[in-house]
Copies of this chain bind each other. A is one copy, B any other.
Amino acid sequence: MSSAGPSASCLGAAPRSAAQARIVIAALALFAENGVGGTSLQMIADAIGVTKAAVYHQFKTKEEIVVAAVEVELARLVPALDAAEAEAGPRALDVLLTQVIDLAVARRRMVSTLEYDPVVVRLLAEHEPFQQFMQRLFRVLIGPDVGAAARVRAAMISTAIGGAVTHPLVADLDDEALRSQLVRFTRQFLDITG
């Protein structure tokens, strides 16, 4: 029956202990600034005011922290994806994109880590649950079409959103200004009349 709930989100995103949550939050901020490879466990421990050993008590390895951090951020997309899949037809894409843009703008500093960091990219490609989640995402984005044009278009729009929110050119824009422009240009690019 409701063993997986209505979303079947593919992501664990289990509610974690307070200590684990603090580590993940601190790690994400440091990953965004220094990259995953440039962030040490010492830096994470210092950021939350504990020792390395305390961090290792919560996560056995550094990779586990990276996985947890990516899970937490990707889980934010689950409601948007659920809503889009509930909405069949051309409206589904518009529902997904406006919510994805909202999230990307609100979390702009974390986006580049999730989308472009080589360590995370490798993780997304190797970790089964992440793969399935990304497939769900791109199925809504591309639709049934699997041609070169549809895939290039999907790659462009997903990286355009992710890249634009972190771009120095728009660093001074407030969230609402950035959001409205992104929605407008994204709809134009995808020929969505709204």
Interface on A for B, CB 8 Å cutoff?
32-39, 112, 115-119, 121, 125, 138, 148-149, 151-164, 166-170, 173, 177-178, 181-182, 184-185, 188-189
A155–B182 Cα distance when bound, in Å, is 10
Contacting residues, chain B, for A184 (C-beta < 8 A): 149
How many copies of this chain? Answer: 2
Determine the distance from Cα of A160 to Cα of B178 in the docked complex, in whole angstroms.
16
Complex contact A35–B119 (CB within 8 A)? yes
Would B163 and A167 count as touching, CB distance under 8 A?
Answer: no
B181 touching A138, Cβ below 8 Å: no
**Smallest Cβ distance from A157 to chain B, in angstroms?**
7
Q: In the complex, what distance in Å separates the CA atom of A149 from the CA atom of B148?
A: 29
Nearest 7 interchain pairs by C-beta: A159-B163, A37-B38, A155-B167, A116-B116, A37-B37, A160-B160, A152-B181
Can you show 16 pairs from A to B with CB atoms below 8 A apart? A35-B117, A35-B119, A36-B37, A38-B38, A112-B116, A116-B116, A125-B168, A138-B169, A149-B184, A151-B170, A151-B173, A152-B178, A156-B161, A159-B167, A162-B163, A163-B163
Query: How many Å lie between the Cα of A69 and that of B173 in the bound state?
Result: 31
Shortest C-beta distance, A116 to chain B (Å), equals: 4
Q: Which residues of B contact A152 (CB under 8 A)?
A: 164, 169-170, 173, 178, 181-182, 185
Residues of B within 8 A of A166 (CB): 116
